[in-house]
Amino acid sequence: MANKFKATPLFDAHKAFVRLPMGMAMLDGYPDSKQFVETLCETIPDVRQDLLHTQAFLKSYSRKSEATFRGYRNEVERLLLWAWTIANKSVIQLKRPDLEAYFDFVHSPASAWVGSSVQDRFKIIGGESRQNENWRPFAVRIAKEDRKEALSEGLSVEVSRDGHLLSHEAMKICYSAISCYYDYLTDEGYAFGNPIPAIRKQSPFLIKGATQKNIKRLSDLQWEYVLDCAQKAADDSATHERTLFVIAMLKTLYLRVSELSDRTNWQPVWKHFWLDTDGNRWLKVLGKGNKMRDVSVPSALSPYIDRYQKYRASISSTFGVNSTLVAKNRGVGGMTSRQLRRIVQEAFDLAYDKMIAEGFKAEAKALREATTHWLRHTGASQDIATRPLKHMADDLGHASMGTTDQVYIQSDMKERARSGKQRDV
């Protein structure tokens, strides 16, 4: 029944997954998942082959990037669990009506399938990866502002798991991932075709048409406070030099947080800053889709780069061009995206406290919702009016100027509203 969650997670996080052996041996360290699969095989014999083909599919996509793996894993794991425990079928037995029912389910999953927070799939107990009883395939999202207010008042955050709906964008990702999955199964001779494109074409969950996009960015006042607070923190304590460097880099160079983080196939180091023959400064980054690009570095950013470089040299005699760009204060190596987000959030919190103290309560409240990615949007939004569109697209890492134009150049809503008011009935 859909109103009970009687499944276990199947695939671990990227770091653990890529080290597992191929075949059923991958479940040797996961006793709960192994028992779950073996029990299902008694009634649905193809479950084992479903699992092995899905492992091979994810293994292939794990080579591209951790983010790609995570996105595909989430979607195909949901499909497998639904097929096995609700439809009671193998994924290759699912017909078009079954898959249409699946997408209906994904759009509005049963409350038993929805967790109150994002949880790890497994917990290490006695050297084995045991099922985390709190994990669910879906999780409700709580506004950062609500979560922070509850924590500041010492209250628990109560959320309802009923009526959970996936957004238009989430459904697009779902259709795309499942379609790619069935293409793979068809190519491997396991499935007999891919019905997803035809289903997607008739989907009631995909909305066509353009609306005015609301770019999530910091206001000029919010950015001023974030930068000033980070700079004051660095002036007061050298351990905050990293904070100042990170937020200045993300905002000024329009970087995604992943582009400053350590990844399996890329480690940002200081020699990735380079000068061309005209003395212009650039930063080489590995961006989305494993695409390399060079980002122009403005002169105004140089003091922030130089002061962090000087700080790093003062605490390490081995610091050089091959040193990690953003280093841990303790330990060795670079930082993960999660660690970098935590640093940025600390800077946001400092700015929030100062804005509250100085009477900017509305702006401070809005800052509660800010994420690390807002820094990229803030920098691009501020510069789009003064830089050529082609230059912006290249520095942002957009494949075409059309993307940059669509995201950052919008008609003036106030002017549009003013002209609209003059229409006659």
Q: Give the H or E element holding residue 292.
A: strand 292-296
Q: How do residues 345-356 score in pLDDT, each as one tens digit?
A: 999 999 999 999
CB atoms within 10 A of CB 171: 20
Given this model, what pLDDT does residue 82 score?
A: 97
Q: Is the pLDDT of residue 29 over 70?
A: yes
Given this model, what pLDDT does residue 289 score?
A: 78
- Burial class of 344 by CB neighbour count within 10 A (0 to 12, 13 to 18, 19+): buried
CB atoms within 10 A of CB 402: 11
Given this model, what pLDDT does residue 210 score?
A: 47
Query: What are the boundaries of each domain within the chain?
Result: 14-153+162-201, 220-411
Q: Measured between alpha carbons, how far is residue 34 from residues 23, 113, 114, 260, 306 in Å?
A: 12, 20, 23, 37, 53
Q: Which two tokens stand for residue 161?
A: 């798991």
**C-beta of residue 252 within 8 angstroms of C-beta of residue 298:** yes
Complete DSSP assignment for 55-83: HHHHHHHHTT-HHHHHHHHHHHHHHHHHI
Complete DSSP assignment for 115-180: ESS---SEEEETTEEEE-TT--SEE----HHHHHHHHHTT-------TT----HHHHHHHHHHHHH
Given this model, what pLDDT does residue 120 score?
A: 93
Q: Which two tokens stand for residue 157?
A: 């955050």
Q: Measured between alpha carbons, how far is residue 22 from residues 12, 37, 57, 59 in Å?
A: 14, 16, 11, 9
Q: How far apart are CA 192 and CA 179, in angstroms?
A: 13
* pLDDT average, residue stretch 268-289: 93
- Please, which pLDDT band fits residue 415 given cuts at 50, 70 and 90? low
Q: Which residue has the higher pLDDT, 398 or 297?
A: 297
The backbone torsions φ and ψ at residue 168, rounded to the nearest 5 degrees and listed phi first, read: -55, -45
Q: How do residues 50-96 score in pLDDT, each as one tens digit?
A: 999 999 999 998 887 788 899 999 999 999 999 999 999 999 999 99
Given this model, what pLDDT does residue 91 score?
A: 97
Q: How far apart are CA 245 and CA 308, in angstroms?
A: 6
Q: Is the pLDDT of residue 7 over 50?
A: yes
Given this model, what pLDDT does residue 134 score?
A: 93
Q: Which two tokens stand for residue 25?
A: 């041996």
Q: Which two tokens stand for residue 375?
A: 């820094």
- Please, which pLDDT band fits residue 341 given cuts at 50, 70 and 90? very high
Q: Which residue has the higher pLDDT, 151 or 288?
A: 288
- CA 148 vs. chain centroid, Å, equals 21
* pLDDT average, residue stretch 384-409: 84
Q: How far apart are CA 422 and CA 326, in angstroms?
A: 54
* pLDDT average, residue stretch 359-387: 91
Torsion of CA 289, 291, 294, 298, to 10 degrees: 0
- CA 378 vs. chain centroid, Å, equals 18
Q: Which residue has the higher pLDDT, 174 or 263?
A: 174
- Please, which pLDDT band fits residue 398 given cuts at 50, 70 and 90? confident
Given this model, what pLDDT does residue 143 score?
A: 55
- CA 385 vs. chain centroid, Å, equals 28
- Mean pLDDT check: name the lowest of 137-146, 250-259, 396-405: 137-146
Given this model, what pLDDT does residue 158 score?
A: 53
Given this model, what pLDDT does residue 213 score?
A: 56
- Please, which pLDDT band fits residue 412 given cuts at 50, 70 and 90? very low
Given this model, what pLDDT does residue 407 score?
A: 75
The backbone torsions φ and ψ at residue 58, rounded to the nearest 5 degrees and listed phi first, read: -70, -35
Given this model, what pLDDT does residue 173 score?
A: 92
Given this model, what pLDDT does residue 151 score?
A: 55
Closest among 167, 172, 165 to 114, alpha carbons compared: 165
**C-beta of residue 233 within 8 angstroms of C-beta of residue 358:** no
Instruction: Give Cβ neighbours of residue 262 (< 8 Å, ≥ 6 apart).
Output: 268, 324, 333, 334, 335, 336
CB atoms within 10 A of CB 134: 12
Given this model, what pLDDT does residue 411 score?
A: 44
SS3 category, 294:
strand
- Rounded to the nearest integer, the mean pLDDT of the chain is 88
Q: How far apart are CA 121 and CA 132, in angstroms?
A: 6
Q: How do residues 160-216 score in pLDDT, each as one tens digit?
A: 555 567 888 889 999 999 999 999 999 999 999 999 999 999 988 887 654 445 678
- Please, which pLDDT band fits residue 146 given cuts at 50, 70 and 90? low
Given this model, what pLDDT does residue 342 score?
A: 94
* pLDDT average, residue stretch 146-155: 56
Given this model, what pLDDT does residue 401 score?
A: 84
The backbone torsions φ and ψ at residue 19, rounded to the nearest 5 degrees and listed phi first, read: -95, -10
The backbone torsions φ and ψ at residue 313, rounded to the nearest 5 degrees and listed phi first, read: -65, -30
CATH of 220-411, one of 2.120.10.10, 3.30.465.10, 3.30.60.50, 1.10.443.10: 1.10.443.10
Given this model, what pLDDT does residue 67 score?
A: 83
Q: Which two tokens stand for residue 308?
A: 């962090």
